[in-house]
Structure 1
Amino acid sequence: MAASCVALLALLLLLSVLLLGLWKRGRQAGRARHVVVVVLGDVGRSPRMQYHALSLAQSGFSVTLLGFYNSKPRDELLQSDRIQIVKLTDLRGLGAGPRILQYVVKVVFQAVYLLWKMMRTDPAAYIFLQNPPGLPAIAVCWFVCCICGSKLVIDWHNYGYSIMGLVHGPRHPIVLLAKWYEKFFGRLSHLNLCVTQAMREDLAENWCVRAVTLYDKPASFFKETPLDLQHELFMKLSRTYSPFQSRSEPSDPDTERSAFTERDSQCGVVRRLHGRPALLVSSTSWTEDEDFSILLRALEKFEQQALSGDSLPSVVCVITGKGPLREHYRHLISQKHLQHVQFCTPWLEAEDYPLLLGSADLGVCLHMSSSGLDLPMKVVDMFGCYLPVCAVNFKCLHELVRHGENGLVFKDSEELATQLQMLFSKFPDPAGKLSQFRKRLQESEQLRWDESWQQTVLPLLVTHK
C-alpha cells in the first residue's frame, strides 16, 4: 500500500512537471535572451561560472544563476540588474544509516529539489552547467532542456568520478557508476566547453564529446595593486594578523607603518620599507590532492639556509582558502617555531583577494589535478597580477606554466626549497630572477576573460540559436 502511494505521488509529480514544461515551452517571449546558469556548489567559490554569468549579462542576456550561497559572490554579480541569483539549499548528512544510503538519499533529494527550482524559472534558450559536480545535475538539466526546449551547455572543469576516486579508489563500484553516468549524460549536451586542450582531446577520444577549449583567463580586476592600496590592505590585515604588523615603531607617531610599507604623515606618500619581508601567497583548497606539507617542508629547508648565513630575507607566507584539512594544517603550523618564516591563514573578502595577489612577491601553487586534465585557476589569477609562480607539476600544466619562461615547476619539497632560495636570494634586487619573471609577465600580452569569452563562447551561442 505504501509503495503504491509513493509511486502515485511520483507519477503525479512527473505529470505536473511535464505539464509545467509544456506550458513553459509555449512561452517564447524572452526565451532567446534568457540563460540559466547552474552551479551545484558554492556560487562564491565558483569564479568561472560567475564570469559566465557576468559575460552573458554584458552581452545582453538576462541570467538566472542557481547555486548554493555559502560565501559571497563578487559585487558586480550582486549589483547587475540582469542577473538574478536563486539560492539552493544543501542537504547535510543524515547522520544515521550506511554511508551509501545517505549518499543515495542526498542525490535523490538534490535531483527532485533542483528539478523543482529549475521548472519555476522563466523559459531559457540555454542552460549552462558546471561539471563537476554533475551528479545529479547533468541528468536534471538535460531533462529540463527536453521538456522546455532549452539547449544544454556543459562547462567541463574536471571529471567528477576522478575526484570521487581520490576518496574511494578508482575501481570502487560507486566511482565506476559515477563514470558511466557522467559519460552517458555528458554526451546528451548540445554544446560543451572545457578548460584545456588535453581535456578536449580526451573528451573526443574517450567520451565521444566534442568540446571547445575555453581557457581560464584572469578577470580585469586581477592586476598589480598600486602601492597606496597595498598599504591600505596591509594596515587592514595588521589589525587582525600579527605577521602584517610593523616590526618597529616609526619615529613620527603619526606615521602609519605595516610590516611592508609606511605612509609619510606629512605628504601622505607610501613607500616600501627597507629590509621588508618577502610576501609569499599560496591559495589552496586544503585537501589531500593539494598537499600543503610540500610547502611546509620547503620553507623549513629555506629557514635552515637562512640560519646558515645565506643572504635570504624573512618571509611572510599567506595561505588563503578553506577546506577539510584547514584546521589540521593550522595545527601543524602552530607547532613550528621558525625565525625567518611567519605564517598567516586569513579568510579574505572576495574584493581583497585580487589586492593581495597584486601586492605579493611570489605565488606558490599546490594544485594536483585528479584527472591530470584541468589547470589551476589560482595560477591564472596570479599571472593576471603579474605575480611570478612556482607550481607543482602534473600532466598538462605546461599549457599554462612554461618552466623557466613565465614561472617555475617543481615536483617535491626539495625542488621547491631550491627555487625559493634562488628567487629570494638578495631580495628585493631588481636584477634578480624574481624581478625578471615579473618583467616577462608584464611584457606578455595576456588575454582577459571578457575578450576570450567574446571570441570563443558568444559565437557559439549565436550559431546554435
Structure 2
Amino acid sequence: MADASASMTLATISLIGFTLLAGFYLTTLNLRWTLVSVTVTAVLVTQLLRKLRRRDALTERRVCVLVLGDIGRSPRMQYHALSLSKHGYSVTFVGFPGTKPHQDVIGDERITIIPITEVKGLQVGPRMVSYVTKVILQSLQLLLLLLKTDVQSHILMQNPPGLPSIVVTWLVCGLRGTRFIIDWHNYGYTIMALSHGPDHPIVRLAQWYEQFFGRFSSHNLCVTNAMKEDLQNNWNIKATTLYDKPPAIFKETSVDLKHQLFMRLAKTIPQFQVCGERPGGETERTAFTGRDPSDLSVTLTSGRPALLISSTSWTEDEDFSILLKALEDYEGFVKAGASLPSLVCVITGKGPQKDHYRKLIDTLSFEHVKICTPWLEAEDYPVLLGSADLGVCLHKSSSGLDLPMKVVNMFGCCLPVCAIHFYCLHELVKHEENGLIFKDSEELSEQLKSLLWDFPGCEDEGKLGQFRRNLRASGGQRWDQNWDQNVLPLLTAP
C-alpha cells in the first residue's frame, strides 16, 4: 500500500515538474498559457499534498524511529522503539544494518526494521567533493524512503548524526503533517571538530546547520540538564531532559549465569580459561568459576583474578592509552609485592581505532594482567557487566554535555565505576559514593590499587564493596518509568 502510494507521489512530482517546464516555455508565447500552467501546477500541488497527508485510523498509532547509523549500536533508539511498542504503537525503525539489534527488538511484532544503506560520495577528486556528493545522495535516498512509508504521527530522530537527516526529516514532516522530535545525544559538529579542528569550514557549517534546522522540530529530548540549558541559552531550543536509564536487562548476574557465560566465552577467549587447562575437559571450570561435580553447585574460585570491564566505540573521544598505562603501573604494583589480584581486562566494542589499540596491546608483556577485546552479542553484554568486579569509562564528551550510557548500564548492574573527568560527569558519577573520578593514568592506577587491595575480601570490607552496596540501596529509576514520564506525554499531547 505504501509502495503504491509512493509511486503515485513520484508520478505526481514528475508531472508537476513537466508542467512547470512546459509552462515556462509557453509563457513566452501567450499570457493565457501562463494562467493555465499556474492553475494546473496549483491543482497538482494540492493533489500531491493530499496524497502525502492522507491519514487513516491507525496513523496516530504509528511512529518512525530514525537513526542514520548502525541500529545495533544505537541502544537508546532501540529502547525508544521497545517503549513505543509496549504502549501499542507500530514502529518503523529506520537505520543502517550491521550489528545485530537486541533480540527483543528483532522479535517484536510491532517493530518493523527498514534498513537504509550508507552511501558513499564520489571517490575521485577533492575530499570536499566526496563529502558533498555523499550528503546529496544520502538526502535523496532518505527522502524517498520516508515518503514510501505510511504516514506517521511522529518521527523520532537521533542527533548526531544529523547531516542530512535533520533537514530531510523536517521536510518530510512538513509535507505529511507529521510531528518531528529530535533526540539530542550530543552535537555533531563537536564530534567533527575532533578530526578537523573547531575552525575548519566544514565544522562551522555543521554548527550552523544544527543550530538553524534544529529549531524546526516540534519537540526536543536531550541527555543531560547541562545540554538542556545549553540548547536553550545558545540556540533557543527548548528540550526535555531524558536521562539514559538502564533497562531491566541490566542487573547483577547470578553465579550460575556467570559460569554459563564464562564457559561460553572460554571456548574462544583464552583469558577466561583456567591457566594450562583446555576448555571442554572433564572438570567444568573457568578462570573465575567452577562447578562441583558432586552436587553440581557453582562457586566463585577463591584465587580468581579480578574482572575489569570497559566498553567503547573506539573513537577519538576515548583515549585508551590512559588505561593501558594504568594497567602497566598495576602490573608493577603486583610485581612489587602488593596484595593485589591478577587482572583480566575486557574491552568490548567496535570502532575505527580498535586496530590501532590492538597493536599497542600486542606490544605489552604482562604477567599478572590479561587484556582481551571481544565483540559481545547484545544478549551477553548485560550478563558480562553484571559479572564484572569493576568498570572503567574513558569517555570524554566532545561537547562536555552528554553522559556515557556505558556507565548508566554498569550502574544498573550495581557495578562500581572509575570514570575520567569531564564537565557534566557529576550528573551521573558521584565521587566516593558510586565510583571514583580520575584525570590521568596515574590517578587511575592508584584507584585500581585502592579498590582491589586484598581482593576478593575487599568486596565485603573495602571501598569496592561499599560502592556496590550504595548502588544497590539507591535502586534508581529504570528506563521504562523514565520514558513514560518524559516522552509519552509528548506523543499524546495535541
Normalising by the smaller structure, the TM-score range is over 0.9
1:439 maps to which of 447, 469, 494: 469
SS at structure 1 position matched to 2:398: coil
Q: Using a 3 Å threshold, how does the CA distance of structure 1 residues 456 and 212 change in structure 2: closer, same or farther?
A: same
Aligned residue number for residue 410 of structure 1: 438
SS at structure 2 position matched to 1:203: helix
Aligned residue number for residue 126 of structure 1: 154
Aligned residue number for residue 138 of structure 1: 166
Q: Mapping of 1:280-359 within 5 angstroms? A: 280-359=308-387
1:160 maps to which of 170, 174, 188: 188
TM superposition shift of 1:93:
5.4
The whole-number CA distance in structure 2 between the counterparts of 1:241 and 1:277 is 15
Amino acid at match of 1:437: F
Q: Mapping of 1:3-42 within 5 angstroms? A: 11=17, 21-42=49-70
Aligned residue number for residue 416 of structure 2: 388
The whole-number CA distance in structure 1 between the counterparts of 2:16 and 2:74 is 33
SS at structure 1 position matched to 2:135: helix
Q: Using a 3 Å threshold, how does the CA distance of structure 1 residues 175 and 76 change in structure 2: closer, same or farther?
A: same
Large movers: runs of 4+ above 6 Å: 12-18
SS at structure 1 position matched to 2:371: strand
Deviations 1:270-329 (A, max 9, x none): 001111000000111112210000000001011111111110100000000111110111
Deviations 1:366-414 (A, max 9, x none): 0000000000000000000000000000000000001111110000001
Aligned residue number for residue 9 of structure 2: none
Stretch of structure 1 that moved more, 415-424 or 429-438: 429-438
Q: Using a 3 Å threshold, how does the CA distance of structure 1 residues 462 and 419 change in structure 2: closer, same or farther?
A: same
Q: Is the 8 A contact 1:17 1:119 kept in 2?
A: no
Aligned residue number for residue 4 of structure 1: none
Amino acid at match of 1:80: D
SS at structure 1 position matched to 2:53: helix
Q: Is the 8 A contact 2:16 2:45 kept in 1?
A: no
The whole-number CA distance in structure 2 between the counterparts of 1:10 and 1:245 is 68
TM score, norm. by length of structure 2: 0.89
TM superposition shift of 1:71:
0.6
The whole-number CA distance in structure 2 between the counterparts of 1:261 and 1:10 is 70
SS at structure 2 position matched to 1:64: strand
TM superposition shift of 1:456:
1.0
1:455 paired to 2:485: yes
The whole-number CA distance in structure 2 between the counterparts of 1:343 and 1:146 is 51
Aligned residue number for residue 230 of structure 2: 202
Q: Is the 8 A contact 1:24 1:122 kept in 2?
A: no
The whole-number CA distance in structure 1 between the counterparts of 2:215 and 2:374 is 41
TM superposition shift of 1:20:
5.2
Q: Mapping of 1:213-252 within 5 angstroms? A: 213-247=241-275
1:268 paired to 2:281: no
* Rg comparison, structure with higher value: 2
The whole-number CA distance in structure 2 between the counterparts of 1:402 and 1:22 is 54
TM superposition shift of 1:249:
5.4
Q: Is the 8 A contact 1:18 1:147 kept in 2?
A: no
1:419 paired to 2:443: no
Q: Mapping of 1:250-261 within 5 angstroms? A: 254-261=282-289
Amino acid at match of 1:235: M
SS at structure 2 position matched to 1:333: helix
Q: Is the 8 A contact 1:21 1:119 kept in 2?
A: no
Q: Is the 8 A contact 1:21 1:144 kept in 2?
A: no
Q: Is the 8 A contact 1:216 1:377 kept in 2?
A: yes
The whole-number CA distance in structure 2 between the counterparts of 1:54 and 1:61 is 9
Deviations 1:106-165 (A, max 9, x none): 100110000000001111110100000000000011001101000000000000011111
Aligned residue number for residue 370 of structure 1: 398
Q: Using a 3 Å threshold, how does the CA distance of structure 1 residues 333 and 11 change in structure 2: closer, same or farther?
A: farther
Unaligned runs of 5+ in 2: 1-13, 21-40
The number of residue pairs the alignment matches comes to 457
Q: Using a 3 Å threshold, how does the CA distance of structure 1 residues 53 and 440 change in structure 2: closer, same or farther?
A: same
Q: Using a 3 Å threshold, how does the CA distance of structure 1 residues 269 and 106 change in structure 2: closer, same or farther?
A: same
Q: Is the 8 A contact 2:121 2:132 kept in 1?
A: no
Q: Using a 3 Å threshold, how does the CA distance of structure 1 residues 33 and 271 change in structure 2: closer, same or farther?
A: same
2:104 maps to which of 58, 76, 94: 76
Aligned residue number for residue 5 of structure 1: none
TM superposition shift of 1:27:
2.2
Aligned residue number for residue 94 of structure 2: 66
Q: Using a 3 Å threshold, how does the CA distance of structure 1 residues 18 and 55 change in structure 2: closer, same or farther?
A: farther
Q: Mapping of 1:108-119 within 5 angstroms? A: 108-119=136-147
Unaligned runs of 5+ in 1: 1-7
Amino acid at match of 1:438: R
